[in-house]
Amino acid sequence: MLAGLPIRKIIHVDMDAFYASVEQMDNPKLKGKPIAVGGGGKRGVISAASYEARKFGVKSAMAGNLAAKLCPELIFVRPNFERYSEISKKIRSIFLDYTDLVEPLSLDEAYLDVTINKKGNPSASLIAKEIRDRIFNEVGLTASAGISINKFIAKVASDYNKPNGQKTVNPEEVIEFLEQLDIRKFYGVGKVTAEKMYQKGIFTGLDLKQKSLEYLDENFGKSGRYYYYVVRGIHNSEVKPNRIRKSLAAERTFRENLSSEIFMLEKLEHIAEEVSRRLTKSKVAGKTVTLKIKYSDFTLQTRSKTLQYYLSDKSMILETAKDLLYQEKLNNSVRLLGISISNLNTEKKKKPEQKTVSVQLKFEF
């Protein structure tokens, strides 16, 4: 018996090396070859890498020049986000044949709640297999899936048999699965947090489970409570088809490092224009402007200002970003600038948390 678990059947579908796979599908000459989407030029950063490239250690968010050293035969491909969006919509239409409870996380992954589904199929595992088969037959790409009682476990499970596989964690298997799981596999535990956990003797879910709520709160702040509950199989977040956007941003990486604020203002104007365009397109506005600065040594700094009113106009965004730029002296030359708008007028006040109820989970997965 697992306390506090709603009876749900959740599937997490994750496309395999999505951007790279689309490029290989569209250009047969790239099939079977190590490719990287993005990353071209001495200052490029990789958006995605094919599995052939990953064997050499190439991965997303890696500098292109480093990737080229790891894999001398690496082929760089310019990203085509319009094409990726087009394919993503086709995949999403397949999801909607099974349930309206589809929560996209990005172009290449989504949660589906199939507890009650349009096919009347009691097996979430069979639904996941059918969806993956349809994606392959109708779109031409492979996908992996995780199936379990909540979003957290389903997402962890989807990475288990990648690529082109799936894993089901049945209700009665949840606790053992989480206890044996390497702490690095826990969704929400990044590299820095994993290192910190290692230093404190936390290597598996079982190690984490043995720590008290007070200990985790003290050592991991706000995330401590999250870790305490998910390792016990408790994650009550529902699949939300219309997720409320919490922020909107745009950023630019420069060909050459900038050391003068005057040159940066010109770049900020273009970024502010793009942010304003996206806000207008999404029909939202926000009160908090955040300026993101990445220095030439790759250190990151953010500066924020919250206004008394909502804004979406380019000139007002730019004016606030300027104030933030001149707020304090720059630490170094700058390789990237970004502007994000948060505290949007779409956000709703949180409802009080409901008390959890203990239930016995006995239904076909």
Catalytic residue numbers, as ranges = 109
Task: Confirm if 321 and 296 have CB atoms less than 8 A apart.
Answer: no
Residues 6 or more apart whose Cβ sits within 8 Å of residue 111: 10, 11, 12, 102, 103, 105, 151, 154, 155, 239
CA distance 180 to 173: 11
Which pairing describes strands 247-258 and 334-344: parallel, antiparallel, or unpaired? antiparallel
The token pair that represents 145 in the structure block: 């899936």
What is the edge-to-edge ordering of all strands in the sheet holding 286-295?
A: 247-258, 334-344, 286-295, 300-311
State how far the alpha carbon of 171 is from the alpha carbons of 116, 238, 347, 359, in Å.
17, 17, 34, 11
The token pair that represents 133 in the structure block: 């088969």
- Tell me how far apart the 2 most distant CA atoms of the chain are, in Å: 65
